[in-house]
């Protein structure tokens, strides 16, 4: 297996070929229709082949291509069943796996980052990766003191590949928008581009992980592995045994879906008040269910610093919206920058628009499900609906961008889990300004 990237030109050509091949399949489908095959059979076959090709290419290229695929994977639950079926398996693979890079390259990075005598730091080092993701892969090793450790190594050339991929993917935005109706593909790509520098800096990531490890040390529900060593392109942490949250989505019992969905949501909400940071990469591959029942969190490359916790206005406005005070909601949204000066909105229409989004916090127990989230996306993404025009007038202030990304992503994952628990109780405990 070659390293990331095979050359900027090669990567661009492979991604640029995606829409061409998709159109080729549509033409081939027309020929099969003439030959007597049913439209349903042709559509199912084309969807499956297109899904396999798109996410295979994104996964093999790693870098920004795979990171984009992982970002899309948390929104799989918004797709209609006839589309989601062929895509589900390919999306799940992107959540916690990717093809490995060459052993020689791994050793070169370790020598550059930890010194030529890097092997002296380990009793043993497994050259076969235990996991691989968008900008790095993980190897299991035995630290010099006998502890099992995870060694995360960044792919050579990751920086250039990330930026080049995201620029190329921006040009292909319409293709992906067609597969994910209602998802703002350009916004996802902008957010990924803005966070590139942070995610490439493993020293910065190690500092954040240390803060989380201390903040959650001894917690009966969560485990954040401590960092033992770090360099610009390598992080060595304590090893974690367990299965990815993606496996719970795939085959977990309803009890597991409820329990770990609640824990997953609680971790995201509680981070800002406990540590001063929001974990900003909610895809399931970053979470492992440990044999003892704790939920381990493994990746801290994307975070948002919130030293004062989540914004007070977030909880206050949510509570006011639930109480039905439309005029106060509009005034509050204007103060926070969600409604720009000069933009006029009917207060009750806006409250009606927001109402379904607040539903999880309105009821004692909320059942997340694919039908509910699809209904919300269809309601707000179709220009023929009045809700669409209201949504177009709402602005997203810069200080809420990552919060919004995590909120949407986490809801997507919870709907994949079909998890049932009290969202209201978690809001009351962790979101300032919100009270039951």
- Check whether residue 345 and residue 316 sit in a common domain: yes
The pLDDT value recorded for residue 391 is 80
Token digits of residue 224: 């954040």
CA dist., res. 19 & res. 336, Å (int): 40
Q: Are 306 and 97 in contact (CB under 8 A)?
A: no
Residue 109 lies in a domain: yes
* E-state strands within 18-157: 122-125, 131-132, 136-143, 148-154
What end-to-end distance do the CA atoms of the chain give, in Å? Answer: 54
- Check whether residue 30 and residue 111 sit in a common domain: no
The pLDDT value recorded for residue 33 is 33
- Whole-prediction pTM: 0.78
Residue 296 lies in a domain: no
The pLDDT value recorded for residue 96 is 46
Token digits of residue 48: 């499956």
The pLDDT value recorded for residue 306 is 95
Residue 19 lies in a domain: yes
- Check whether residue 387 and residue 415 sit in a common domain: yes
The pLDDT value recorded for residue 415 is 93
The dihedral region occupied by 62, where left means phi > 0, alpha psi between -120 and 50, and beta the remainder, is left
- Check whether residue 49 and residue 177 sit in a common domain: yes
- Check whether residue 35 and residue 119 sit in a common domain: no
In DSSP notation, 261-309 reads HHHHHHHHHHHHHHHSEEE----GGGEEE-TTSPEEE---SSEEE-TT-
- pLDDT of the chain, 436 residues: tens digit per residue: 345 444 444 444 454 455 444 433 333 333 333 333 333 433 444 555 655 565 555 545 555 555 666 666 666 666 655 555 555 555 555 544 455 778 999 999 999 999 999 999 999 999 999 887 667 889 999 999 999 999 999 888 776 666 666 666 666 666 565 555 555 666 666 766 666 667 788 999 999 999 999 999 999 999 999 999 999 999 999 999 999 998 999 899 999 999 999 999 999 999 999 999 999 988 888 999 999 999 999 999 889 999 999 999 999 999 999 988 999 999 999 999 998 898 888 999 989 888 888 999 999 999 999 889 888 877 877 777 777 788 888 887 878 878 888 888 899 899 999 999 999 999 999 999 997 5
Residue 166 lies in a domain: no
- Check whether residue 394 and residue 413 sit in a common domain: yes
The pLDDT value recorded for residue 435 is 79
- Check whether residue 19 and residue 84 sit in a common domain: yes
Q: CB within 8 A of 319, min separation 6: which ones?
A: 433, 434, 435
- Check whether residue 233 and residue 326 sit in a common domain: no
The pLDDT value recorded for residue 99 is 59
Q: CB within 8 A of 63, min separation 6: which ones?
A: 4, 5, 11, 134, 135, 155, 158, 161, 162, 164, 165
- Check whether residue 325 and residue 377 sit in a common domain: yes
The pLDDT value recorded for residue 116 is 95
The pLDDT value recorded for residue 30 is 31
Show which of 183, 217, 248 is a domain's final residue: 183
Residue 50 lies in a domain: yes
- Check whether residue 107 and residue 40 sit in a common domain: no
Total of domains in the chain? 3
CA dist., res. 424 & res. 433, Å (int): 13
The pLDDT value recorded for residue 173 is 61
- Check whether residue 179 and residue 31 sit in a common domain: yes
Show which of 183, 218, 253 is a domain's final residue: 183
CA dist., res. 266 & res. 19, Å (int): 40
What is the span of the domain harbouring residue 349?
312-430
For tokens 């981070």, the residue is 271
The pLDDT value recorded for residue 38 is 38
Q: Are 141 and 147 in contact (CB under 8 A)?
A: no
Residue 191 lies in a domain: no
Residue 268 lies in a domain: no
Residue 261 lies in a domain: no
- Check whether residue 113 and residue 212 sit in a common domain: yes
């Amino acid at each position: 297996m070659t390293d990331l990237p095979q050359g900027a030109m090669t990567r661009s050509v492979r991604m640029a070929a995606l829409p061409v091949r998709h159109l080729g399949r549509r033409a081939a489908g027309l020929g099969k229709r003439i030959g007597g095959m049913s439209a349903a059979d042709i559509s199912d076959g084309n969807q499956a082949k297109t899904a396999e090709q798109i996410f295979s290419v994104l996964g093999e290229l790693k870098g920004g291509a795979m990171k984009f695929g992982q970002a899309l994977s948390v929104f799989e639950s918004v797709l209609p069943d006839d589309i989601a079926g062929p895509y589900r398996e390919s999306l799940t693979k992107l959540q916690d796996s990717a093809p490995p890079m060459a052993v020689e390259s791994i050793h070169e990075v370790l020598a550059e980052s930890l010194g030529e005598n890097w092997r002296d730091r380990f009793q043993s080092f497994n050259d076969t990766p235990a996991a691989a993701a968008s900008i790095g892969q993980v190897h299991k090793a035995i630290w010099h003191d006998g502890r099992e450790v995870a060694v995360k190594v960044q792919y050579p050339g990751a920086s250039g590949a990330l930026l080049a991929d995201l620029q190329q993917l921006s040009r292909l935005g319409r293709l992906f928008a067609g597969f994910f109706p209602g998802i703002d593909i350009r916004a996802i790509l902008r957010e990924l581009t803005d966070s590139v520098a942070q995610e490439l800096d493993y020293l910065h990531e190690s500092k954040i992980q240390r803060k989380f490890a201390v903040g959650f040390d001894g917690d009966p529900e969560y485990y954040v592995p401590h960092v033992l060593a770090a360099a610009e392109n390598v992080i060595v942490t304590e090893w974690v045994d367990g299965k990815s949250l993606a496996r719970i989505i795939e085959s977990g019992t309803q009890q597991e879906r409820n329990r770990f969905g609640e824990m997953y949501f609680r971790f995201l909400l509680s981070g800002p008040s406990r540590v001063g940071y929001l974990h900003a990469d909610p895809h399931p591959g970053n979470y492992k269910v440990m044999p003892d029942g704790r939920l381990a969190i493994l990746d801290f490359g994307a975070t948002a610093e919130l030293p004062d916790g989540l914004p007070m206005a977030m909880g206050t406005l949510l509570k006011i919206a639930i109480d039905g005070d439309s005029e106060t909601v509009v005034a509050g949204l204007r103060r926070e920058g969600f409604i720009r000066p000069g933009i006029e909105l009917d207060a009750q229409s806006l409250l009606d628009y927001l109402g379904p989004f607040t539903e999880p916090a309105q009821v004692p127990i909320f059942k997340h499900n694919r039908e509910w989230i699809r209904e919300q996306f269809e309601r707000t993404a179709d220009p023929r609906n009045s809700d669409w025009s209201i949504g177009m007038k709402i602005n997203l202030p810069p200080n809420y961008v990552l919060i919004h990304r995590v909120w949407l992503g986490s809801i997507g994952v919870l709907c994949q889990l079909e998890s049932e628990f009290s969202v209201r109780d978690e809001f009351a405990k962790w979101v300032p300004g919100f009270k039951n």
